[in-house]
Copies of this chain bind each other. A is one copy, B any other.
């Protein structure tokens, strides 16, 4: 059956922007390609959509392949389709935006793919239009972290408020008032006190919270605003 004989058949790629947070910096999981073309150069983790594979399944497959993780926070971001974007062959790339708890992934799988966690500031030149994809993903992170509770995807299951604050300070690259941040965060009702304290601290130990999964789902689409006003004009 061929209902559309004259239309072009095109390669459909999937590329993944994977963000992590090490407690200090936002990092990207990038791979050094050990295959042609562009062998030896840095790129996003990616692959091709299979003939009978759902698009989102493809993204999950590729993310799982690299990290060994099953339940990754992943959103479809944007499809890049400039005619010459892949010099090898016409390829349309669907870009996915993923957030992972940086300590959860399978570091063996990562190593075998020649992948590394790299801070945003020190990221290398990437192949094709991958740099544009990264810029788009950073924009998306800034935009969405202000409006939805996606920041929780980047910190451990049990986290402290100061930890979250450092995350937001890293995302927006500005200092945030500790007291106002804490008040705003607690007022969401999304945090459950685990009763434990953070023992890694060398000074006062902070309370460990976990997410209220029920409320998280219910409130995901309600509008937060952790972005300070000073950012709003940008």
Residues of A within 8 A of B (CB): 1-4, 7-12, 36-37, 48-56, 58, 76, 78-83, 88-90, 92, 94, 146-147, 218-219, 221-223, 225, 227, 232-234
Q: Is the interface of A mostly helix, strand, loop or mixed?
A: loop
A227 contacts across to B, CB distance below 8 A: 223
Identify 6 new A-B residue pairs, CB closer than 8 A, beyond the known A4-B89, A79-B79: A3-B88, A10-B49, A10-B51, A49-B92, A52-B83, A223-B225
Number of copies: 2
A36 contacts across to B, CB distance below 8 A: 3
A53 contacts across to B, CB distance below 8 A: 83
A1 contacts across to B, CB distance below 8 A: 88-89
A146 contacts across to B, CB distance below 8 A: 223
Pull 18 A–B residue pairs with CB atoms less than 8 Å apart, ordered by A. A3-B88, A3-B89, A4-B11, A4-B89, A8-B49, A9-B9, A9-B11, A10-B11, A10-B49, A49-B92, A51-B90, A52-B83, A55-B79, A55-B81, A56-B81, A58-B81, A76-B78, A222-B232
Contact check: which of B10, B76, B218, B221 meets A10 at CB < 8 Å?
A: B10
Complex CA gap A48/B48 in Å reads: 20
Complex CA gap A89/B1 in Å reads: 8
Contact check: which of B48, B78, B92, B221 meets A234 at CB < 8 Å?
A: B221
